[in-house]
Structure 1
Amino acid sequence: MMESLDTDVADAESVGETRDEVVAGVRQHAGQMARELARIEGGDYGRKTFRVDGGEWTVKYEAGDLEFLRFEGRAGLDVYVVSTKQAPDFEPLSRALEHYDALVAAFNDYVAGLEGILDDAPDSFPAVASAAEVVAERDRIVDAFEDAADQMAAQLHRFESGDYGAWAVTVRGTRWELKREVDTASYVRVGGEDGVYLVSQYGAPSARDVREHAGGFRDFVRAFNDEVAELHDDLDAVTL
């Protein structure tokens, strides 16, 4: 027959509250280390591991706040003292906290070791050269590209059917393509799908690209003119 069930079950609520208070205190204190690490490392996200006699502590921070505090000790001890998930078990927490002061000392040593690290860093720098003249010259040439491309688009619109079209030719062994919308150039691209856009609705090409392809653009326009001239000759030969 079952024995009496009158024996009271121990209430673990107070023990749990004590554990939660301890973890909350560690979270607040280690959170200061997390914020200082974020300031030192120059970013909102990261982690750093500190080795102590009893094992390793890892402080991970996110958006400047402590994300977790983990202790990996000897004899298989591995506990998240602070985390965004569940609270740690009592016994691993107690063992880990035996080494918490060592973590604080290691952190303080780390910060102290950074003092004076920038003493020899220069605090004055040469004047930065202005790119204004280069940009102005680049824009002048690109404006000429765009003007020529629009004229080509207008001519294409005159003798081709449809409001959208493209014209392509190989110049100096490289493919050039003009795409138009009605009588305005949408783009001029050199070098195929992965090539350089010398005329575009999304911005000007680099000065280096302009320098490299300016001569080719001139030959691109000449090739267009030659094709238009041939077309005129062919039409002149037609008799009705």
Structure 2
Amino acid sequence: MRLDLNADLGEGFGIWRLGDDEALLDVVTSANVACGFHAGDPLTMRRVCVAAAARGVAVGAHVGYRDLAGFGRRRIDIAPDDLAADVLYQLGALDACARAAGDRVRYVKPHGALYNTAADDMVQAEAVAEAVAAFDRALPLLGLPGSALETAAHDAGVPFVAEAFADRAYLPDGRLVPRSQPAAVLTDPYAVVAQAAAIAVHGRVIATDGSSVPVDARSLCVHGDTPGAVELAREIRRTLADAGVTLGAFAP
């Protein structure tokens, strides 16, 4: 078994820092790097790209709504052309930083509210896929399996990679519990590691109603802003290795 382990990085802004990017880069195989719209700034983007390249960690563009104040977690009703241009802008900016570090952007993952909206809203999903296709049709899109984004990616001729979450609660339909609801984020280390193992080994998660939901994913996410994220990521990596899972980037 082979699985990618990704985390959201570069989510500080100016003098503000969120998470331990350097420590997480020693654990994960792919880094979803904020591109300046929901978080991040040019210097942070460049620093993370340099650090990721030094460790052989794949860099992905973590594109989001233009929403620094809300950390990209507020849905925005935006025209498709505007959204496609915003995604293309973010993607190009991060790719410049990655190339300056001797690497390149290897995949794209929507962030926060854009991620959830593109899972169900075909108009916004198509705008994201259109932007990726305009930049590089070979660049994979990372998202929820069975989502509108998956359909839009296939229609645009863009590779799609299914993702699951170690530290997010699931609904019976395979969608994530909205962050506005209680217990949407798993913080108990045992529960996070157990869910990661269940996804990697059995391809299933236990939903909020107790049902077992199939999850076929090639990449597993642990959020960089989850309390104790570094130790959680380390324990996930150790547990998966003990279970015979080989960790490696899906987009080397």
Q: Same fold (TM over 0.5)?
A: no
Larger Rg: 1
Higher relative contact order (CA 8 A, sep 6+): 2
By percentage of residues, which structure has more strand?
1
TM-score by length of 1: 0.17
Structure 1 or 2: more helix by fraction: 1
Give TM-score scaled by structure 2 length. 0.17
